Structure 1
Amino acid sequence: MNVLYVVLPAAGLFLGWTIRWLYARFQLSASEQRAERVKQDAIKEAEAQKKEILLEAKEQLIRERNQQERENRERRSELQRYERRLTLKEEALDKRTETMDKQDEKIAEQEKHLAEREKFIDGEEERYRLELERISGLTSEEAKALIIKDLENEAKHDAQLLLNKIEQEAQLSSEKKARDVLVSTIQRIATETTSDITVATVSLPSDEMKGRIIGREGRNIRTLETLTGVDVIIDDTPEAVVISCFDPVRKEIAKVSLERLILDGRIHPARIEEIVQKVTREISQKIYEEGEKVLFDLGIHNMSQEGVRALGRLYFRTSYGQNVLYHSKEVAMIAGMLAAEIGANRELAKRSALLHDIGKGAENDSDQNHAEVGMEMARKMNEDARVINAIGSHHNDVEPSCIESVLVQIADAISAARPGARRETIDNYVKRLENLESIAEGFTGVEKAYAIQAGRELRVLVNNEKIPDADVKELGRNIAKKIENDLRYPGRIRVTLIRETRIVEYAR
């Protein structure tokens, strides 16, 4: 029994191992068969792909061969067309050559005939010349000199007539062109006119608001004046308060602040300080934005922030009713047009013209004029030396060093003198007209003078007994010269003299 217990497990173990070995051999054999089948399938597939590739290559070769044959046929046909054209051209050239040869022969015969004819004419001409000398009693040289002198006198007369005609046409065309340029300038660059005043008026909803603006013991109005640096004038004017200040930026800050305080209704020192600070920041931002806007409109780049702010401050400056920033922009446009017309540096001319009044935007007060202040500002902004010269020379404080500086002077004069650009006060306007009339009336022989067309023309009535016709032109020239020396005025003044003789008789 013990032996049996030992043998049976051993036999079971051997039998299990044998079965597993047989199963493993079976699996191995099946795997080898599958691998063989996969190998055979792969070989067949590769051969099929090879055949397809070879077939496609043959088809591609056939297509390329056919394409090449078509191109060759087209080239051969094109060459044949060229050959036919060349053949036709050769035939045409041969015919033309034959024709030219025949014409050369005819020309040679004609030249021979002309030479004989010329020889005959020379003989006849010599015979006629001798006969003319015998009849006139003058040699050929004397006759030639006489003819040349007559021709010279006639040419001088014609030349003088031509010069007079050219002068008249030039005068007419120049006047027409000047009018066209003036009209074009007004149409293209006309800007608004503003009042050159140092006060601003703020409307009030009622007169009761005046007491709230003044505040207890005047603390509100003192706070506003201290923070803004202006004078707030409260008088008997109904529902209005006047703000006075020579600095337009401070005046604008005070005006906007007071308007907002009136709308808000809360008027006390703390609120005033808060509003003034806020408005000051807004005005400062507006100054920078106005400077950037004009630079963008003109296409000018690389301007320092100091320069942008100085340009923006010109937005609040006026000169003879003309906004200085708009005036500078207008001068830049005119200078750019002039530079483009004559071939000068257009960008330099525009930049110089835009900055020519930059000194008027300086924040600090100085004893120097605005051109000198502008030159200093431009140096600090590292501007080109030609720009600095243009700023300083636009009122002839320094000599112009380049053509762009001269263009800035011209553009500044055009902008300031064009109709509608500037506005004088009524007192200065009347005084200028009176001075204009008094200058003409100061000359002997002038009976009366009238300034018309807003001072652009002076109509002078001359005594016909004291001034003859020959002296009227000289009198007009003297009056115009005295006006140029004694008066300052924009543009030009036309002086018209009238001299006439009137005879009145009555038939009874």
Structure 2
Amino acid sequence: MTFVFIGLGVAAAAAAAFFGLRLLRERLRAEAEGRASRIAADAESRAQTRLKEADLEVEEWRSTAEARFESQTRQKREEQQRLEERLKEQERNVARKLQLLDQRHQELDEREAKLKEREDRASSLEKEAHSLIQERRQKLERVAGLTARDARRELLREVEGEARQETSSLIRRIEEETLAEAGSRARRIVAEAIQRLPASDLVDGVITVVKLPSDDMKGRIIGREGRNIRALEMATGVDVIVDETPQSIVLSSFDPFRRAVAQMAIERLIEDGRIHPARIEEMVARARSEVAESLDALGESAAFELGITGLPHRLQRLLGKLKYRMVLGYNLLDHSVEVARLASQMAMLLGLHPEVVMRAGLLHEIGQVEESRADTHPILVSADLAGKFNEDPRVVQAILALHGTGAEPSVDAALLKVAEKAILARPGEKDTSLQGFMERMRSFEAIASSFHGVTRAFAMRSGKEVRVLVEADAVSDGDVVTLSKEITSRIQKEVEYPGAVRISVIRETRAVDYAT
């Protein structure tokens, strides 16, 4: 019985093992199939992702290729347009040259026709004179019974008188035609030379705009209770105007040199970042020195612009000073360069060498800034300086001709005179009201500076205030009031001005020491 149970147990165990193995195999198969399906799905997903990436790469490559193609096409199109414009410009130049050649050929044909007509007229007159001589000779011999020699002498006397009369009338007519033709040609040459000049912009002669990095910089320039702006105005003699104009301030003064110094000092202060009265005075002194040192470079640059080389150092410095001198509202250096350029253009159109009139036009105003000879006419000073520094005598003669005395007439002098008048006659070139304002400002400063103890004098606020700085050792506090009244009295007597002028005499004492 025991063996039966054991057999049944073994059989049951075998059946259980069989069914367990079968279930395990089915589970493993199901897991394998699930894993295989997941792997297949993952592979399919990766394949789809790769296909999308490939599509994106292809699309990106296609877009890049299209952009590159469009860029190359646009560049080639622009280059083609530039070439077409250049060809059109060359065609226009050729057309203009052909037109000028046609005009010259026409003028030559007209002159040839006139000469032919004059020759025919002279030939006919000669034939008429010969026939008249024969007729008179026969008549005299027949009527007066004169000898052939006497008749010939009488006839020659009459013919000579008639020939002189006809010759004088012919000469007068030729002179009139020549003058008319010369006037027309001169007007054409001047007009063509002026057209070749570059147009110059008219600028305000009393203000300079300084750009700021931001509007916050305005507050730093003004300083606490306005101490920075007062120090800046005191050091430069320039009105500093801070208004609502975004990122800019305005410097106002009749003296371009002071405005240039103030502009450079403010720009250096902005770069440095330290803005206080002591630093302002230091920067103004440095800027004044640098602007003074740049005068030679300005003169050399103006001469180089015209192609003039070999100017002496002294003449270059005088030309640089012209940059900061205004007369009748125009800048003297720009005016000199334009006169030189116009005169040289006219000389080239006439077939002359332009070097003489170009140098004369550039140097004809340097006498305006020669302070040691203020009692002599500036043109005479300019001519004297040009001769002193070994300029060509023709240059000196052309400059003297502008004064109107002491110079023989020459073609160079005539061209320089015409160029000077043409430049001054341009609309907006001269401003007499501005010139009167500048002369009044200089008179204020000259009167104030003439008193003992005055170091500097600045005409400010458009002529409404004169600030006078005095030496503390030479003028006491009690003398300040007396000095202001004396300056006021002289200004009232010697200068005509509108409204009222405030005279501010400033005496400042400073003590400096160093701790070591």
Could you tell me the TM-score, scaled by structure 1's length?
Answer: 0.45
Could you tell me the TM-score, scaled by structure 2's length?
Answer: 0.44
Higher-Rg structure is: 1
